[in-house]
Chains A and B, each alone.
Chain A
Amino acid sequence: GENVEQHPSTLSVQEGDSAVIKCTYSDSASNYFPWYKQELGKGPQLIIDIRSNVGEKKDQRIAVTLNKTAKHFSLHITETQPEDSAVYFCAASMIGDDMRFGAGTRLTVKP
């Protein structure tokens, strides 16, 4: 089955700097890669996703890149703000299979 690894486990940045979180997956058949943001006491919320027919996707300050050959994908947050502080999870899935999540990255944005 699919195995997803996520790095780093914790990340601290200064407000205004960029943050990058990286994930690798094991099954080349995976074709859907969402990113979730989880704030304290809440369920994970989808912030951006990418499918395997696309190499990059951007939504305002958030972007995701996918390298199918290397089987890794990354979340990029630019101009970070304190409200970006949360735990971020990557995930991977393929048709007919369940979604596997990374272990999560705790992002802290210092004002």
Chain B
Amino acid sequence: GAGVSQSPSNKVTEKGKDVELRCDPISGHTALYWYRQSLGQGLEFLIYFQGNSAPDKSGLPSDRFSAERTGGSVSTLTIQRTQQEDSAVYLCASSLVVAADTQYFGPGTRLTVL
């Protein structure tokens, strides 16, 4: 079946612009996660959704970052007034149930802020 998909695969933007990143989880998966991976670094947890609610937003780096999920499926991660330090690969993952379950990752969106 189809895996997790993300769009766009690459995004180049100018400092100060807003960007939206999209994640389509595996059908039927109730949990959805966003991670950030800076060049050569590990995975940094940002936020996860259980259904449409986000019990843990502790990983969001600043109030410029927000995420929503509608219909228990697609999620968008929005970064407002982008900064150069926001440049990274943003990974989305989904799992059948929250935590203690296998997460399946999408290919990521590479964001470059000029």
Q: Are B100 and A94 in contact (CB under 8 A)?
A: yes
Q: Are A93 and B100 in contact (CB under 8 A)?
A: yes
Q: Are B91 and A32 in contact (CB under 8 A)?
A: no
| Complex CA–CA separation, A101 to B100 (angstroms) | 13
Residue of A nearest to B6 (CB): A43
Chain B min CB distance to A41 (Å):
8
Query: Does chain A have a CB within 8 A of B42?
Result: yes
Contact of B102 among A49, A97, A100, A103 (CB under 8 A): A49
Q: How large is the interface on B (under 10, 10 to 19, 20 to 34, 35 or more residues)?
A: 20 to 34
Q: Are B105 and A96 in contact (CB under 8 A)?
A: no
Q: Are B102 and A46 in contact (CB under 8 A)?
A: yes
Q: Are B42 and A98 in contact (CB under 8 A)?
A: no
We find that the number of chain A residues with CB closer than 8 angstroms to chain B is: 25
A56-98, CB < 8 A from B: 89, 93-98
Q: Are A42 and B103 in contact (CB under 8 A)?
A: no
Chain A min CB distance to B49 (Å):
11
B1-57, CB < 8 A from A: 4, 33, 35, 41-43, 45, 48, 56
Q: Are B99 and A97 in contact (CB under 8 A)?
A: yes
Q: Are B99 and A98 in contact (CB under 8 A)?
A: yes
B residues near A99, Cβ cutoff 8 Å:
33, 45, 99, 103
| Complex CA–CA separation, A101 to B91 (angstroms) | 13
Query: Does chain A have a CB within 8 A of B107?
Result: yes
